[in-house]
Structure 1
Amino acid sequence: DALYCRSLNEDFHPDVTPIILAAHHNNYDIIKLLLDCGAEIQDPETYEFQSEAYTLEHSLGTVNVYRALASEAYISLTCSDPISSAFELSFKLRELSERDYEFRFQYSDLAHQCEQFGAGLIGQIRDSQEQNTLLCTDPGEILANNAIDVHMPYKVKKAIRYGQKL
């Protein structure tokens, strides 16, 4: 129960849980501790909001959840392929910025944050062998077939599909 507790006063939004708050502050250690205890941030489509649907408070709760999902520490700790996850989330946030007009700037900023994070991870590549392995390998393929196909630039195609510009 403590992992999903919520504020009973006006200090925090009623939909903010401890892991969401830790992700807002990008606190790697606290996020890791909460994840080890079984906490997770649910997808906003399935998230159990405390606020009523179709209200401003509900919309703010949705922004808070996406803000937590866009945390670099949270992405790093929960995704086996953080670069692809950052690309996908950036694309989804850009779509939300077009759909949810009142929060378009917040969603755009979060999309840009995810783009920067993905580009920063790619910027850590040290040599051409690492570059080839990282950009041309689909983690799902490795797990399914125990083989690496280095001829298809998997992440490059994914970046193009999701419109990554950085």
Structure 2
Amino acid sequence: MNKIKIFVPALSFLFVFAACNQAEKQEQETTQSDSINVSKPVEIELSDANIDLAYDQYLKLKDVLVLSDSLQTQTAAKELASSLAKVSGSENTAKLASDIANESSLSKQRILFTSLSNELINMFKKAEIASGSMFVQYCPMANEGEGGYWLASETEIRNPYYGDEMLNCGEVKETIEKK
């Protein structure tokens, strides 16, 4: 009888404890899913078809750097270099993309990506935008604290310099849109 008197309260305590933990877990999951602010990509159309293709290829390159995949980075950079070769006056930028394509080290690819992004940001600022927007994003910790810019089609930060190590490190610095 004494064992039952001890067992029933102990069992009741376990049920209450389990229920509290489950409620707390559900509350955390609800809070997390409610707080995730995923922005949709903003469609953009550039008046020059070759520049428009180069922008699409650049975004693909940025996305595979976010995934930290050096082989896919090489492939995407090669495609971007090919696209840039069709854009008048972008020979140096095409060379930077080729340099990334020829590099197998992810850390070196990311260093080269900084220069490529700076060149392309300047190019896209001068391009005629038919519709939509692009976003200049910045991570102050990239390149050993020197910082690094990149372009994105959404305001949500997906850091190509650190991938999943610091996926959301950065901020939108500027919006490039139709003038």
Both proteins in one fold, TM over 0.5: no
Larger Rg: 2
TM normalised by structure 2 equals: 0.28
As a proportion of its length, which structure holds more strand? 2
Structure possessing the higher relative contact order (Cα contacts under 8 Å, 6 or more residues apart): 2
